[in-house]
Chains A and B, each alone.
Chain A
Amino acid sequence: MNLADSGLPGPPPLVAVIDPRILLGIFVILVGAALVVAVRLAQANRDPLPLVCCGGALVAALNEPIYDILGKIVYAENNPMAYHAFGRAIPWFLVLGYLPWVGLAPYLVFKAMQAGVTRRTLHIAAATLFVSVGCVEIFGNSLRLWTYYGEPPMKYLGVAPQAVTYPLVGGFLLYAFASRLSGWRRVLTGFTISVMILPIGYAATSWPGYFALYADLPPVVDWVASAALLAMCAAMAAGATYLAQRWRESVDPHGPGSAGQPASIRQIVFGASLPVARSTAGPLGKNSS
């Protein structure tokens, strides 16, 4: 018995015009390359964090059907499927895709922040990520591998803008919290950040779009909601790079504009003009071991 109503329309049926295994093969290659990079970084730095982030990202892939429903996204039925939830089938390529974008990318951003890469460069990198995701979206939509069945402009803002938030915010959180830890604390913190950064990034920025997609509002309200979504994505990304810059100024004695000695996160808030912190306790109240 159907109980559907106009408030929650079902997705349209969709069949890809090309063999979806081609896309899966492309993603397998991409993911393989990302894994190689992660392994080499782990070996070079003697640090399991890159691999932990990749593992956490694969767990985060379980969030996918939630944002597919909220963002009105559906995948071609002939995609090889990884799992079913919320009445949706989630393709393998998508689950694997979490590894480079949600796992490795935040770790690379973290290392870039730690190395003192400028905000401008990070923003260019974020824009590159945005373009890369946009290209993937155009590719996938044109070949009917997936589609957005909501109305514009929200249907165009379901994935690409958010792709600049979770890598930058995830990178900052790894920098601010995991970098100062070692052992099981580092692993647990990195894994937790990797698991939650995608839902945080989507929920914090995309709720206006989700509301507009499911409310019968005048077009002008849809455009306002979409503008709010874009503004919050940009604000979140800029906020992450700003905090990372201030964090580095407070903890890197050799970097430009540094405070000279390591300090606690208080200098993030009040700037480098404060006296050196009496305690080097980090945000978790513990010194790195």
Chain B
Amino acid sequence: MGGPTVVSVTALGQRPEWVTASSSAWVYTLVVGAAFVVSVIWCVVYVVRQRDVLPLVMLVGGLISMGLEPAVDTLGKVWYARDNPWVVYVGMGVPQPAFLLMGYSLFWGGAVYIASRLVGQGLSIYTVFAAVFVMDLIVEYLGVSVLGVGLYYDFSPLKLWGFPLWWAFVNAAAAVIGVWLVITLEPRLTGWRRAGFLVTPATAFGTTHAACAWPVWLALHSDAPPWAGYVAAAYAIAMSLGLTAFVASELRTRRAAQRDLIIMAEAHGAVG
């Protein structure tokens, strides 16, 4: 058997390696970095005061989930300039800047944790979906269209001002799945088992993207006509909304069960 050849990247399409980062990319890194530092400090204080490591574990889990970024970059045709400030590593040939590392931790770890607290207090999961959708639009357009830290190259369906909108639906659904996993697993993963949450952000992110976006990835990397890409994007959006509806139904059931438990407890108390 011969050694590895170097043909697969051309088979996956030419990457825009000539793209350079704008000087404003430092702004993006500093803003995300500042938010990350604040989050870490808050988590450490929370761990000490509340004696619950979950928010810190989720933050670290979000860091770990960044390992999936090169895969979705390759499959979804995303590129980050090589001269971006502070490229932490190169994954599958795609430079991974530090703002991604911190952003993943904040988004898929920290934001998902905060959303799980709010949902536990009665916030609708559809509100979470909408909020993450809007947040993603802001982050993506700031990074792609304004500061030029990266780009979505070649054809991608529903691309508006440089950002394919189907990504925001899938990202929002990934956050919803993450919230659901936290709520479902939190009562079960107590004590040392909290370490199980280290894999939750990556699992939620990867599973949702794989389940929703694979037809789009296929359309981007085949000879399919553009209209097939739009059909694939419609599937991705429909699946994202469907998964959100599933989680909403599950949470309704969970809340009803909790009310049943309260009623039972009150009834036993009245009888006793």
Contact = CB atoms under 8 A, between A and B. Distances in A.
B246 interface: yes
B8 A200 contact: no
Interface stretch (B21-29, B134-142, B165-173, B216-224): B216-224
B92 A232 contact: no
B8 A202 contact: no
Interface in A45-89: 62-63, 65-66, 69-70, 84-88
B260 A266 contact: yes
B130 interface: no
Contacts of A160: none
Nearest to B239: A196
Given A7-B92, A265-B250, A62 B214 contact: yes
Interface string A245-274: 000000000000000000011110110001
Contacts of A66: 75, 210, 214, 217-218
A199 B211 contact: yes
Given A84-B222, A207-B68, A266-B253, A3 B9 contact: yes
A217 B206 CA distance: 21
A62 B235 CA distance: 14
A203 B207 contact: yes
A7 B207 contact: no
Nearest to B12: A87
A233 to B, nearest CB: 12
B166 to A, nearest CB: 16
Contacts of A9: 4-6, 8
A200 B207 contact: yes
Given A8-B9, A13-B5, A3 B14 contact: yes
Contacts of A23: none
Nearest to A74: B8
Interface of A: 1-14, 62-63, 65-66, 69-70, 84-88, 144, 147, 149, 192, 196, 199-200, 202-204, 207-208, 210-211, 214-215, 228, 232, 264-267, 269-270, 274-275, 277, 279, 283-285
